[in-house]
Structure formats: C-alpha cells, structure tokens
Structure 1
Amino acid sequence: MNPNIKLPDQFLKQMEQIMPTHLSMTAFIDACKRPLRPSIRVNTLKISVAAFLERAEEKGWELEPVPWCSTGFWFKNSGEDDVRLGNTAEHLAGLFYIQEASSMMPVTALLHDQPELGHVLDMAAAPGSKTTQLAAAMENNGVLVANEFSSSRIKMLHANIRRCGVSNVAMTHFDARVFGGWLPESFDAILLDAPCSGEGTIRKDPAAMDNWSVGSTEEIAETQKDLIVSAFHALKPGGSMVYSTCTLNMTENQQVCHFLKETFGDAIEFEPLNNLFENASASATDDGFLHIFPQTYDCEGFFVARLKKNRSVGSKMVKKRMGKFPFTKAEKKDCQVISETLENNLGLSLPENTSIWLRDKEVWVFPKNIETMLSELKFDRIGFKLADTHKKGYRWQHEAIIALAKGIESSALEISALDAIEWYKGRDIRPSELVGKGEVIVCYRGQPIGMGKWVGSRVKNNLPRELVRDSNLFSQ
C-alpha cells in the first residue's frame, strides 16, 4: 500500500454515488493505494508472441495474459534484478512496449470485428502506446494518422514509432478539433483517447489528483465534447470510433458520449462492448460502455466506448491554408535505381504498400494510402527516411533498417551480448575473428539493432546519437 496517495473527500463521495452495487468502496480505495502490476505488450511487427514467450522464459520472466489483448501480459516478476525493463535488449530492439494493461483495451475495442482499414486516425497519440498497438494490429498496412497537440510529447511519439519499426504512420501536430472540418468523412476508424483528469492513473502517479476538483473535470469535459464532435465529423459513414479516457467520473465519460448522441440523434449508435473479452460484462454499463474501476481487473481505472456512424451528417470541409508540399514522388526510373541499390547493398526490399518520395537529397518511404490526403493536411512526418543521397550512392538510415530488416538478410551481422552493449553505448565494435567490407545490418539474437560499416576488422557505429545509452544496460 502507498500511504502517500490521497483521495479527495469530494472525489470519494462522487465515486460512491456511481459505484456499481457489486463493487465496494473499501476495495476501490485499497486498489487505488496498491502499486500497479507492471505490464507489457509484445510488438508483433518485430516478433511473434510465441517467440517472445520463449525469450521471456529464458530470462525467468513469469507472465500472465491480459484478457482483452492477445499480445498483452502482466509481470508476476520482472526477472531483472539490476536492469530496468526499458534497458533490456528486448525493449531496445522494439520487441515489446511497456504499456499499462487497461490502456490496451481501446485499440482492441476499435479493431474488434473490423475489416481491413485503409485510413485510421489516432487523435491524441503521444507517447505512442496505442499508435504502435494500432500499427502492429494493422500489420503496417493502410495509413495511420497519429496526431499530437503537445509539442513536448511529439519527440517521444516519434521515438517510439521508430523503435517499434512502424512504417505506416503519418504524424501531425494540431489541436484535434480541426479534423472534423479539415478532413470530413475521411477515416474508416478513429481512436480518441481524450485528454482527461486522469483519476484512474493514481496507482502509477500518486500526484495525479493533487489539483483535482469537480470544476476542473467539468472544464475538461467541454474540451472533450469539442473533440468527439470533431472526430464524428471526420469519420466515414459506416465507420466506428472509440472514445476512451483514463478517468472515472461520468462527466468526462458517459455524459460526453450522450452529448454526441443528443447532437446527432440516430446518426450515432452505441456499439456494446459487453462481450469484448471474458468477464467484460463486469464493467459494462447499460449503454454497453466499459467503465473500469481499478479493483475489477487490478489495473488502472479506464473508460471505453465504441460508437458507430450510421449515416452522413452533412459534414463540410472548411477552407485552410496549405503551404507548399516539399516532397516530389520519385520517377519510375529513380524508384528502380533506389530499390536495386537497397537490395544489392543490404538485401532489403520495400513493401508493396509503400511509395518513394524525394526532398532535396533525402529519400523517404510513404504509405501509399496517404497520397489522397497530401493536398488536404500538413504532416510533420510521413513514413520513414530511407536514405540521404551522396556522390557515391546512398547513405541508408537507421530508422529504415529498423522498419525493414528481419535479421535474415545477407548483410546481417550477428554480434555477442558484450558487443551489443558496446553498440548501444555508441562505440565501434570488433567482432571476434571477423573481417568484412561494406555496410552491414547489426543484429543481436536475430533482431536488427542498427547498421554499421566495416572498416578493416572494426564495424563503424552509425547509431543515432539520441539513441545512445551510457549505463545500466542489459547484461545478457
């Protein structure tokens, strides 16, 4: 128990009024004061669940499946006495994402019984847990527009997208209220994990409710209403959206959904989540929403609603200023040269659902589905950077290796644990008794971790400076 966690009396009174009869306030308070069970989600863009579980067993990790996410697991133990999970080899290679279990539920709800999706919007994407979960579930197909309004969180969003080998994301940086007018009826599915008062996060952050008040939740709800209306306008008729928060009060949850229903009438339908997973009914409301109190599944408090757009509501596109788009699509002959050189140098090929774009001396790979939106929205970053051109050819980029390589290429170089630690420290390595030439995809335990270049018996380290770790790295 954490004695430092303080729950405001007014908050407890509010919870007592809305708590379902089969739950008790004593259990609620006890759960709020218990530390969270650590949980992770396997990144299937990099490794299968079965292969990851073999790795986990080797490390002595005892894992328990998260019932609403086939790739999610709680830790019974971390298996690491001295090394934090974020500094393990598996995390650095993007094999898993450290993600609270309840936050995996919105993506599961959004993609449940969905056909293949061409255009998906994540309206409040940072730090990237749900964006990378969506991309993995989409198998990097289609296009996923990941928007984040907070400038301070954009860098972390990009870092997580890159680490996890995501290639179908286009990042934007807007107040998400613009999407309904800028891209009306454009998305097959939308996730609005809305900014909220964070009442459900107190187990992770004891200071989460230091500034809590009824007035602040009502103020936040007004922003949430603007966002959900924008999302509804941006959604295609027949499409579904998920509205979720990590808070517990009804003002920011049920009332926001009912506001949308009152605004658009029978154009909106609440899609029940009672059977989303085993025992989901324990958290289901009369409307089929999931209102998750922390004691029910021993996780963070959360709210998840799935809403369907039955018909068009006459959403109109507003005029906007578009700056000059700085990229040009590569000509067929350029595409052929780039693709052949990539294959000859590294044994890599580009996915069929991508296209090559050029900006000055830069070569980029975009998801093809983004092309219909290029004239309608300004993007901060699309896809991944493949290479810089120079007089002798191409300088391939780290993020391209992480997105494309599987560790089985002819240019793959398997290194030892000691060399891998040196690699993550930004140092050149000297694989024992090996000498080579040209560029190589550096791998540890079969997973690509970067690219280097032979200089005699030394492999020059090309790891981006911002990814260098100086201490407390994995030891096996």
Structure 2
Amino acid sequence: MHSNIQLPEEFLSEIEAILPSTLNMQDFIDACKRPLRKSIRVNTLKISVSEFTQRAKTKGWELEPVPWCTEGFWITADESVVPLGNTAEHMSGLFYIQEASSMMPVSALFESSNDSYQSVLDMAAAPGSKTTQIAALMNNAGILVANEYSASRVKVLHANIERCGIKNTAMSNFDGKVFGGWLPEQFDAVLIDAPCSGEGTIRKDADAMKNWSLDSVKSIADTQKELIESAFHALKPNGTLVYSTCTLSTYENQQVCHHLKEMFGELVEFDDLSDLFPDAQLATTEEGFLHIFPQVYDCEGFFVARIRKTGKTTPPDVKKRMGKFPFEKAPSKTQIEIAKQLKESLDIDLPSDSSVWLRDKDVWLFPNALEPMIGELRFSRMGIKIAEAHKKGYRWQHQVATTLTLGNEPKCVVLSIEEARDWFMGRDVRPDTTPGKGEVIVKLGNDVIGLGKWVGNRVKNGLPRELVRDKNLF
C-alpha cells in the first residue's frame, strides 16, 4: 500500500474541479493509495498471443486481458525467486513489462484494421514500450522513427528495440520541436506521449507529487503546445496524430489539444474514442478524448486524444546544417553477394523491403521507407547492423538472428536452461552436441536468442553488451 503518499491540497482542489460528476474524490484518493496491478504486453513479432497464453499456464502465471489492447494482460506471478524481468521469456523478447494504461495510446493510433502506416514518428520514445508496441503492429515493416530527447535514455531505448527483434526503426536524439521544420509532412502517423507532470503515476511512484505545483504544470503545458504543433507539421495530410500523457490536469491535456485547434482551425479534427474498447465511454470527454482517472479502470491516470489532419500546413522555416552522411548504398552486385552469403551461411533471406548500406567495413540493413528522410535529419542509429566485412567474407551480427530468422533454420544450436543463463550473462557456452563451424543461431527451446560462433567445442558469445545481465536469471 502507498498509504503514506502526499497529495498536495492545491492538487486535490484542481482534481475536484475537473472530476466528472459520476466520480467522487474519496474513490480517487483511495485509488491513488493502491499499488498498481502488474501488466505485460505480448510481443507478437516473437510469439502469438495464443502461444504465449499457453506458455504462461505452464509457468503458473495468471493472465487477465487488458480490454483496450489485444496483446495486453494483467499478470499475477510468483516473483519471489525470479522477477518477471529476469525470466527467459522476457530476456528472449517474448513480452514487455508495460503499464496497462500506457498501451492505450498505440491502440488508439491503430484503432481500425484499416490503420496501416508506412511511416510513423514516436516523438518521445524511451524507454520503448510504445515504440515496440507500434513496431509489432506495423509487423516490422515501413519506417518507425523513434526519437528521444534525453541522451541518457537512448541506450535503454536501443536495448529494448534490440531485445524485441525490431528492424524497422531509425533512432534520433533531438528536442521533438525540430520535427515540424526538419521533416514536414513526412509521416502517416505521429505519437506524442508528451513529457508531463506525471500526476497519474502516483500509484507506481509514491513520490511522484513531491515537487508538484500548479505553476510547474502550466509551464510544462507551454512546452507540450510547442511539441504538438511540431508533431502536426510533421504529419502528412489525412494523417493521424495521437497525443497522450500520464497526467490528469486539463492544462496539459484538453487545453493542449484545443490550442492545436485554435492554431490550425478546420485542419484539426478530433476523433471520438468512446468505442475504442468496452466501457470506454466511462472515461470519454465531450470532445471524444479519453481522460482516465485511476479508479475507473484500476490503472494509472492517463489521457489520450486521437487527431486527424485534414489538409496541408506551412511548416516553419529552418536552416539545416547536415554533416556528410557516412553511409553509402551498396551497389546491386554487392547486395546480391551479401544476400547469397547470408543464405549459404545461415539459411536466412534478406527482406525485400530493406536495402544494404555500407560504412567502412560495417554492413547495415536500412528500411527502404527511410530513404526519403536520409539527408533531411541526422539519425543516431538506423535499421540493424547485419555484418562486418573481412578478408574471407562477412562476420554476421546478433540482430541477423533476432530479427531476420523464421525459427526453422537448420544451422542452430539449442541451449539448456543452464547454458542459456550463462549466455545471457555474456559467457561462452559448450553445448552437448556435435560442434559445427562458423556462425550459428542460438536458441532456447524454439526461441531464437542470439548468434554465436563455433570455436572448437564452444560457442563464442555474440550477445551485445547492452543485453548482458550480470545476475542470476530464470
């Protein structure tokens, strides 16, 4: 219980003023004092929901569906011995530990089965819960630009993208305000899960309201208005923008959306989210936004708005200073040769929606949908690194196995639980099998967990440093 949480009187007064007549303050306060239910989202790039639910049964995990996310579940599991984050299933990227309400913005972005996007911008992406959710719904196709302003959080974002087997991202490290000018009308869809005062997160963080003030809320709202303007300029005509926060204040929510409407008039249309999931109308505002107080669905406080852009806008003028782009697209002959060697080495095909790019001896695979943006914005990392060239051919890399395999490739080695534990701790392993030669796909059961290389009777560990864990697993 978070019974000792501090809710400032001024904050409670603000909540009381905006609380719908169907709700009451005591229920709100009681809900804030209850710890959150733990929830996860199945990563369908790695496993189907039905397969995962069967596996959960064998683990003794109890799952309750999250109504607004087909892949989401509240989970009850005994974590006294092994935390969920240290399970083989989590390390293999089969699921993501994600608060249930934070699944809602992406569900709103992909509200209809007709919502198929080739280019998506996630403007404030770290730690990656929504980025990985979007990538799965895009089926790893097209281009997903994952931007994070905080340099210290980019490393975590990249690790989660890697763990979940995602190949269609380009990462950037900018203030989100730059996108409207630098990449105007480039995206079919934009998600801006905006930096906010975090009023809805107190069930997870008892100190969330420690430094709360109304002046701070209003100051944050000014920043959010600049970000949503930038997002709107970056959106293509007829594109979809989802604006969300994990806060409750109307200054940071409804008023930010109305600011956009005041700026762009008839070019802005608000979609009604009352049919997004069963009982969504319990949290729907008159504009069609979802304004979720924690007692309504027993989750974090949250806000979600889905907005359509009906025509073109005039983006702000910017002066670009771009350094020399360090990659070059591989000639057709080289692309064919790399594809041939990969097929011969590991029986893996290069995807037809991507192309090979070279930087010195490094070989990268970029989504074709990224190409219109190359030279328009500086990305910190694009696509996946698939190989390093050397005298005798190519040395294949970890993400070849985790993003390009189908799971039935013959050149593989299946580890025991003990060996897999060593593998995720960065150690070489000696499987009880006939040694092979060269690179080999490493699996735990049917799950691909990486790429190794036979050296005598051991498999040399190829796990990237950011995915290595230094404590006991499983």
Other structure's SS at 2:318 match: coil
What is the CA deviation profile of residues 90-149 of structure 1, one whole-angstrom value per residue up to 9, with x for unaligned ones?
000000011000000000101112442111111101110000000000001110111111
- Counterpart residue number, 2:106: 107
Q: Kindly indicate whether the alpha-carbon contact (under 8 Å) linking 2:270 and 2:308 is maintained by their aligned counterparts in 1.
A: yes
Q: 1: distance between equivalents of 2:122 and 2:32?
A: 29
Q: 1: distance between equivalents of 2:250 and 2:110?
A: 25
Q: 1: distance between equivalents of 2:105 and 2:465?
A: 34
Deviation at 1:399, TM superposition (A): 2.2
Q: Kindly indicate whether the alpha-carbon contact (under 8 Å) linking 2:421 and 2:472 is maintained by their aligned counterparts in 1.
A: no
Q: Kindly indicate whether the alpha-carbon contact (under 8 Å) linking 2:396 and 2:439 is maintained by their aligned counterparts in 1.
A: no
What is the CA deviation profile of residues 243-281 of structure 1, one whole-angstrom value per residue up to 9, with x for unaligned ones?
000000100000110111111111111111010000000
Q: Which runs of 5+ in 1 are unaligned?
A: none
What is the CA deviation profile of residues 355-375 of structure 1, one whole-angstrom value per residue up to 9, with x for unaligned ones?
100000000000000001102
Deviation at 1:318, TM superposition (A): 2.6
Q: CA RMSD in A?
A: 1.1
Task: Report 1:435-454 matches (<5 A).
Answer: 435-454=435-454
Q: 1: distance between equivalents of 2:320 and 2:464?
A: 36
Q: Kindly indicate whether the alpha-carbon contact (under 8 Å) linking 2:425 and 2:469 is maintained by their aligned counterparts in 1.
A: yes
Q: 2: distance between equivalents of 1:426 and 1:143?
A: 31
Q: Kindly indicate whether the alpha-carbon contact (under 8 Å) linking 1:141 and 1:353 is maintained by their aligned counterparts in 2.
A: yes
- Counterpart residue number, 1:250: 250
Q: Kindly indicate whether the alpha-carbon contact (under 8 Å) linking 1:244 and 1:303 is maintained by their aligned counterparts in 2.
A: yes
Q: 2: distance between equivalents of 1:295 and 1:472?
A: 37
**Runs (4+) of structure 1 moved beyond 4 Å?**
none
Other structure's SS at 1:431 match: coil
- Counterpart residue number, 2:194: 194
Q: 1: distance between equivalents of 2:408 and 2:269?
A: 47
Q: Kindly indicate whether the alpha-carbon contact (under 8 Å) linking 1:406 and 1:447 is maintained by their aligned counterparts in 2.
A: no
Task: Report 1:57-456 matches (<5 A).
Answer: 57-75=57-75, 77-113=76-112, 114-315=114-315, 317-456=317-456
Q: 2: distance between equivalents of 1:424 and 1:315?
A: 47
Aligned residues: 473
Deviation at 1:456, TM superposition (A): 2.7
Q: Which amino acid aligns with 1:447?
A: D
Q: Kindly indicate whether the alpha-carbon contact (under 8 Å) linking 1:126 and 1:153 is maintained by their aligned counterparts in 2.
A: yes
What is the CA deviation profile of residues 134-189 of structure 1, one whole-angstrom value per residue up to 9, with x for unaligned ones?
00000011101111110111101101111101111011111111111111111111
Q: 2: distance between equivalents of 1:353 and 1:465?
A: 28
What is the CA deviation profile of residues 302-323 of structure 1, one whole-angstrom value per residue up to 9, with x for unaligned ones?
0000111111133355331111
Q: 2: distance between equivalents of 1:464 and 1:121?
A: 26
Q: 2: distance between equivalents of 1:287 and 1:182?
A: 31
Q: Which amino acid aligns with 1:206?
A: A
Other structure's SS at 2:333 match: helix
Select between 160-169 and 402-411 the one with higher mean Cα deviation.
Answer: 402-411
Distance 1:323 1:432, change over 3 A: same
Other structure's SS at 2:291 match: strand
Distance 1:316 1:425, change over 3 A: closer
Q: Which amino acid aligns with 2:94?
A: L
Q: 2: distance between equivalents of 1:433 and 1:168?
A: 35
Q: 2: distance between equivalents of 1:439 and 1:142?
A: 29
Q: 1: distance between equivalents of 2:160 and 2:458?
A: 30
Q: 2: distance between equivalents of 1:302 and 1:391?
A: 55
Q: 2: distance between equivalents of 1:14 and 1:375?
A: 46
Q: Kindly indicate whether the alpha-carbon contact (under 8 Å) linking 1:406 and 1:448 is maintained by their aligned counterparts in 2.
A: no
Q: Which amino acid aligns with 1:110?
A: L
Q: 1: distance between equivalents of 2:193 and 2:439?
A: 42
Q: 2: distance between equivalents of 1:462 and 1:233?
A: 42
Other structure's SS at 2:257 match: helix
What is the CA deviation profile of residues 28-48 of structure 1, one whole-angstrom value per residue up to 9, with x for unaligned ones?
111111110000000001111
Q: Which runs of 5+ in 2 are unaligned?
A: none
Q: 1: distance between equivalents of 2:372 and 2:402?
A: 27
Other structure's SS at 2:222 match: helix
Distance 1:333 1:234, change over 3 A: same
Deviation at 1:400, TM superposition (A): 2.4
Other structure's SS at 1:68 match: coil
Distance 1:5 1:452, change over 3 A: same
Distance 1:433 1:142, change over 3 A: closer
Q: 2: distance between equivalents of 1:329 and 1:93?
A: 32
Deviation at 1:433, TM superposition (A): 4.4
Select between 62-71 and 403-412 the one with higher mean Cα deviation.
Answer: 403-412
